[in-house]
Amino acid sequence: MTHQTLLIIPHFRDTHRLAPFLEELMATLPSRFAILISDDGSGDAEVARLRSLVSSVRQNFGSAGPVLLDPLLHQPNTGKGAAVFRGWDQGAGYSRLAFADADGAVCAAEILRAEYYLRSDSGGHDALFGSRVKMLGRTIDRRLHRHLSGRVFATLVSMASGLDSYDTQCGLKILTHAAFTKIRPHVRCAGFAFDVELCLLLQKAGQSIIEFPVDWHDVADGKVSLLKDSFGMAREVFEICRRVSEIRF
Ligand SMILES: Nc1nc2c(ncn2[C@@H]2O[C@H](COP(=O)(O)OP(=O)(O)OP(=O)(O)O)[C@@H](O)[C@H]2O)c(=O)[nH]1
Ligand SMILES: [Mg+2]
């Protein structure tokens, strides 16, 4: 079977959290998936750990499930957005492109459920954005301060951009390769606010996005800091809104 969905895992010094998640992905995803870890300037020692993780996982799983590609390496550290887009740029020949956070906050079964939904979707959506909505049937295990800061950020994004998204920052997104090709020339944001740019560009290009509630569990030892990153992200959001408003498709 040819591989149809390219799943990018943006990675920055996260091998210890990625290791159990990568095993779970290999055990859960079918062979239409290819997994590409996009390293973002983690440094020689961490890259050595990443390479050894990839080769031991390959040995354990053989050729039955998804293909685990050689990690995509880059120096220096450029940000999560840039790492995702570098990965998606490798996606020629795939029908769908996805990314998921390295910590496994959205588990492999949820990634598969979301990908299956977009694949078999009769509504003709071009992109699916995971969303952390507390609702019957879904499990959201998230620290209160993360939830509250996420609501503040989503409200800020909505006021600045008019975007009606409930949760732009969830660590699972899938889109068709065709949709990505349309917006690629306009992609600029390298940092943690890249999801906002992605959403605004897709909308502006007339692509239809569905928000898809997924299960989420916070995994300790994250790198996004409420104090350190929120001002930079707010600045990025205003810059993205200004720039996207000037783009014509
Ligand atoms: N490429 C790249 N990826 C990063 C960087 N910092 C974090 N990441 C990745 O971005 C993803 C999310 O980062 P996390 O550290 O899980 O963020 P968090 O603090 O747990 O925040 P939430 O998951 O949103 O609650 C993971 O896949 C990280 O490896 C970076 O500087 N560059
Ligand atoms: Mg996380």
Task: Give 123-150 pLDDT, tens digit per residue.
Answer: 899 999 999 999 999 999 999 999 998 9
Q: Edge-to-edge, what's the strand order for the sheet holding 96-100? A: 67-68, 33-39, 5-11, 96-100, 172-176, 127-131, 209-213
Matching residue, tokens 């790198």: 223
CA-219 nearest atom, ligand 1: 20
Q: Considering its fold, how many domains does the chain have in total?
A: 1
102 lines ligand 1 (CB under 6 A): yes
Q: What is the mean pLDDT of residues 49-53?
A: 98
Whether 195 and 118 have beta carbons less than 8 Å apart is answered as no
Residue of 78, 101, 173, 233 best suited for mutating to test ligand 1, as the one with most atoms within 8 Å of CB: 101
Model confidence band, residue 225 (pLDDT cutoffs 50, 70, 90)? confident
Whole-number pLDDT of residue 230: 81
167 lines ligand 1 (CB under 6 A): no
37 lines ligand 1 (CB under 6 A): no
Q: How far apart are CA 166 and CA 11, in angstroms?
A: 25
Q: Is the pLDDT of residue 227 over 80?
A: no
CATH at 115: 3.90.550.10
Task: Give 81-102 pLDDT, tens digit per residue.
Answer: 999 999 999 999 999 999 999 9
Please give the mean pLDDT across all residues of the chain.
95
What residues contact 73, with CB distance under 8 A and at least 6 apart? Answer: 39, 47
Whole-number pLDDT of residue 232: 87
CA-38 nearest atom, ligand 1: 1
Whole-number pLDDT of residue 130: 98
Q: By percentage, how much of the chain surpasses pLDDT 90?
A: 88
49 burial type by CB count under 10 A (0-12 exposed, 13-18 middle, 19+ buried): middle
Query: What is the distance in A from the centroid of ligand 1 to the CA of 80?
Result: 7
CA-79 nearest atom, ligand 1: 32
Stated pTM of the model: 0.96
Residue type, 148: L
CA-100 nearest atom, ligand 1: 27
Model confidence band, residue 224 (pLDDT cutoffs 50, 70, 90)? confident
Whole-number pLDDT of residue 247: 95
Query: What is the distance in A from the centroid of ligand 1 to the CA of 249?
Result: 31
Q: What is the mean pLDDT of residues 38-48?
A: 98
Whole-number pLDDT of residue 2: 66
Q: Is the pLDDT of residue 66 over 70?
A: yes
101 lines ligand 1 (CB under 6 A): yes
77 lines ligand 1 (CB under 6 A): yes
Q: Is the pLDDT of residue 103 over 80?
A: yes
What residues contact 52, with CB distance under 8 A and at least 6 apart? Answer: none
CA 140 to chain centroid: 18
**Phi, psi for 143 (deg, rounded to 5):** -65, 145
Q: What is the mean pLDDT of residues 173-192?
A: 97
Model confidence band, residue 42 (pLDDT cutoffs 50, 70, 90)? very high
Q: 17: domain range?
A: 5-245
Query: What is the distance in A from the centroid of ligand 2 to the CA of 173?
Result: 14
CA-101 nearest atom, ligand 1: 27
